[in-house]
Amino acid sequence: MAVKNQTQLNGEIRDREIRVISQEGEMLGVMSPFEALRLAEEAELDLVKISPNAIPPVCKIMDYGKFRFEQAKKEKENRKNQKVVELKEVQLSMTIDVGDLNVKAKQATKFLTAGNKVKVSIRLRGRQMAHAGLAKDVMNNFFEGLSEIAVIEKPMNMEGRNIIMILAPKKA
């Protein structure tokens, strides 16, 4: 329906002269809208303004219903091909063990191969705030395990008691 608001057709075209293209795609030249509309009616088709900003504006003789259907079909196909990237989160701990770190890395790998971004966070509790360097080492070790499939989109930084880093999948 949005196409109708943008496109002028038949009697709505009020320009003094327009460049006309036939339904086969051949140039018919510059003429008045009245002549072009007469040609379109003889062919039992519509006169559609396809390039309103050109000088003179370009109009084409075509079946407008079919044109609208094709436009809607293209829009639907474009919407279907869009991929929504989600932000998944993996929470680590400063005292995480190697086995647990591998499990979290495997989960992050699954998210990254699906095309999603991964937010890696470590929550510092109590006296761990004094040893934030150790938490950053854990974060670096985690990234080294994923370095073949991930890139750092947002480097690690402190936000209150959390250390946060965002990873994105590597482009193929």
pLDDT for 6: 66
- CA pseudo-torsion sign 92, 98, 100, 105: positive
On the question of a cis peptide bond just before residue 56, with omega within 30 degrees of 0, the verdict is yes
Across the range 111-129, mean pLDDT stands at: 91
Per-residue pLDDT reduced to its tens digit, 34-85: 888 888 888 888 888 888 888 888 888 888 888 889 889 999 988 888 777 8
Q: Is 74 in the same domain as 112?
A: no
Q: How far is CA 43 from the centre of its chain?
A: 40
Rounded Cα gap, residues 56 and 15, in angstroms = 8
Nearest Cα to 146, choosing from 114, 121, 113?
113
Q: 15 pLDDT exceeds 60?
A: yes
Q: Give me the number of domains the chain comprises.
A: 2
Residue 24 phi, psi dihedral angles, 5° rounding: -85, -10
Range of the domain at 73: 2-79
Residue 56 CA: distances (Å) to CA of 10, 19, 37, 129: 16, 6, 16, 70
Joined tokens for residue 52: 């309103």
User: pLDDT tier at 168 (50, 70, 90 boundaries)?
Assistant: very high
Q: Is 98 in the same domain as 51?
A: no
Triad 69, 71, 74: Cα angle to 5°: 110
Q: Is 92 in the same domain as 163?
A: yes
